[in-house]
């Protein structure tokens, strides 16, 4: 898919001239499952994303066409309610706009992209942010990017019903080429960290095992952390957030927390510390030490947070066998999707080939490999 194909599809379906937008997926270097647990995260926008072609149609109907699925959907703007399926990511956005009593009219929209679905690169946030950004431009809603990020998050909570954190939407809207964002998910304070890895590259390996956050596992983790945190607050003085709790304190209260919530809280407190250390290491060009933290994150996600799967664990174990991979871990929500790997530039393609061959032998699946390139956040493509 490309912006040109989306524009052509629009011409074929609707015959008017649209405005074109690109909304990126995201990577995340470290800080996983802590955006909804008072943590810091380190995402960036990728060059893979979703293109939108949108034009007002002088009616009160929104007409959508998904170029990837070859499916159409129309709805009057006066009756926006959740349905089953991909439409929810779009309808949830319209609902958020209406909740703010902002005025939009009917429009036609064709969208499609190249961010792999279910790969942990947040195609869902790319869709939500892309539509919201386009509506903001076309109907001059005057929304700030950070406001749009929280609206898109709300849209995902209320329509698809996944209680996601803010990371994906923030990265999609606020990304900057050649940078990642160090985002404080409690305050939404952020700063850009230049992504200069010197002799290393970031490479994603897609297990091709599709994850679906809508399965309920994601919301369940969030619930377990809330319960664990509430318990810890009764046991420790002056605790306002997970940030005020040290992993050793969680260890001390294992019995009171119960096995599952203990593991979840231990992971969260460790990952909050790790991400803070990682930010310093990235700025100091300490790639090897940074990579070690990535391996530790994977271990925690697999053993304590229990959001990995055998295919992801296999890829990380394979990565450990190659000296030129200095860090590897599952990226995003988990249960499938991609690993993110910090690999020496000189032989990443060769090493990735070895790993995908071993993976094919083990699971009979052709894993896909992408070298990461970062991009700017959601934007209009001027001049088509």
84: which DSSP letter? S
Count CA within 13 A, CB hemisphere, residue 125: 35
Alpha-helical (H) ranges within the chain are 3-14, 87-99, 123-138, 145-158, 167-174, 217-235, 247-252, 254-257, 259-283, 287-299, 310-320, 348-363
Shortest spacing between CB 275 and ligand GLA, in angstroms: 11
How many angstroms separate the CA atoms of 218 and 258, rounded? Answer: 19
C-alpha dist (Å) from residue 122 to 21, 27, 44, 170: 17, 8, 11, 11
**Residue of 108, 168, 306, 311 that binds ligand GLA (CB under 6 A):** 168
Angle between helix 145-158 and 167-174 (nearest 10): 140
**Per CB under 6 A, which of residues 93..122 are in contact with ligand GLA?**
122
Residue of 21, 32, 118, 290 interacting with ligand GLA (CB under 6 A) = 32
- Pair of tokens at residue 206: 């897609």
Part of the chain binding ligand GLA (CB under 6 A), chosen from 3-11, 30-38, 90-98, 290-298:
30-38
Nearer to ligand GLA (CB atom), residue 10 or residue 40: 40
What are residue 192's DSSP bridge partners? 181
C-alpha distances (whole Å) from 228 to each of 231, 234, 235, 259 are 5, 10, 11, 10
Binding piece for ligand GLA, criterion CB under 6 A, among 93-101, 135-143, 165-173, 354-362: 165-173
165 near ligand GLA (CB under 6 A): yes
Binding mask 313-352 for ligand GLA (x = CB under 6 A): -------------------xx-------------------
Closest separation between CB of residue 72 and ligand GLA, Å? 27
Cβ distance to ligand GLA smaller for residue 38 or 168: 168
Please give the torsion angle defined by the CA atoms of residues 342, 347, 348 and 349, in that order, rounded to the nearest 10 degrees.
Answer: 180
Q: Which helix (H) or strand (E) element contains residue 55?
A: strand 43-56
- Which residue, 275 or 375, is less far from ligand GLA as judged by CB? 275
C-alpha triplet 304, 310, 311: angle, nearest 5°: 125
Among 134, 167, 265, 330, binds ligand GLA (CB under 6 A): 167
Among residues 35, 38, 95, 168, which one is catalytic?
168
**Closest separation between CB of residue 42 and ligand GLA, Å?**
11
168 is catalytic: yes
Question: Which is closer to ligand GLA, CB of 33 or CB of 264?
Answer: 33
Please report, as ranges, the residues that interact with ligand GLA according to CB under 6 A: 32-33, 35-36, 122, 164-165, 167-168, 332-333
Please list the active-site residues: 168
């Amino acid at each position: 898919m490309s912006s040109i194909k989306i524009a052509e599809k629009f011409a074929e379906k609707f015959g008017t001239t649209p405005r074109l937008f690109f909304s990126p997926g995201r990577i995340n270097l470290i800080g996983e499952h802590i955006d909804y647990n008072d943590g810091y995260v380190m995402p960036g926008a990728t060059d893979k994303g979703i293109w939108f072609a949108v034009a007002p149609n002088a009616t009160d109907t929104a007409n959508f066409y998904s170029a990837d699925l070859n499916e159409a959907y129309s709805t009057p703007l006066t009756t926006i309610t959740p349905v089953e399926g991909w439409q929810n990511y779009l309808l949830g956005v319209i609902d958020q706009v209406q909740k703010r009593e902002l005025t939009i009219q009917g429009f036609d929209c064709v969208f499609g992209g190249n961010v792999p679905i279910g790969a942990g690169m947040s195609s869902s946030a790319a869709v939500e942010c892309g539509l919201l950004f386009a509506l903001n431009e076309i109907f001059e809603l005057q929304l700030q990017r950070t406001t749009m990020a929280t609206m898109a998050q709300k849209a995902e909570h209320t329509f698809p019903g996944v209680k996601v954190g803010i990371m994906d939407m923030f990265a999609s809207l606020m990304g900057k080429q050649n940078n990642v964002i160090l985002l404080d998910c409690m305050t939404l304070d952020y700063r850009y960290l230049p992504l200069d890895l010197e002799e290393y590259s970031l490479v994603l390996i897609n297990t091709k095992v599709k994850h679906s956050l809508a399965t309920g596992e994601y919301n369940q983790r969030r619930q377990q952390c809330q319960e664990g945190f509430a318990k810890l607050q009764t046991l420790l003085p002056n605790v306002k957030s997970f940030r005020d709790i040290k992993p050793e304190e969680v260890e001390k209260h294992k019995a009171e927390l119960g096995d599952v919530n203990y593991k979840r809280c231990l992971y969260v407190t460790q990952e909050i510390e790790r991400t803070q250390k990682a930010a310093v290491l990235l700025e100091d060009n300490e790639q090897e030490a940074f990579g070690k933290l990535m391996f530790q994150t994977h271990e925690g996600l697999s053993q304590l947070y229990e959001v990995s799967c055998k295919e992801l664990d296999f890829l990380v174990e394979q990565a450990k066998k190659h000296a030129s991979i200095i860090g590897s871990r599952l990226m995003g929500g988990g249960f499938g999707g991609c690993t993110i790997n910090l690999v020496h530039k000189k032989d990443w393609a060769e090493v990735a080939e070895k790993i995908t061959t071993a993976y094919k032998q083990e699971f009979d699946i052709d894993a896909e490999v992408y070298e990461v390139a970062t991009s700017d956040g959601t934007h209009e493509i001027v001049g088509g």
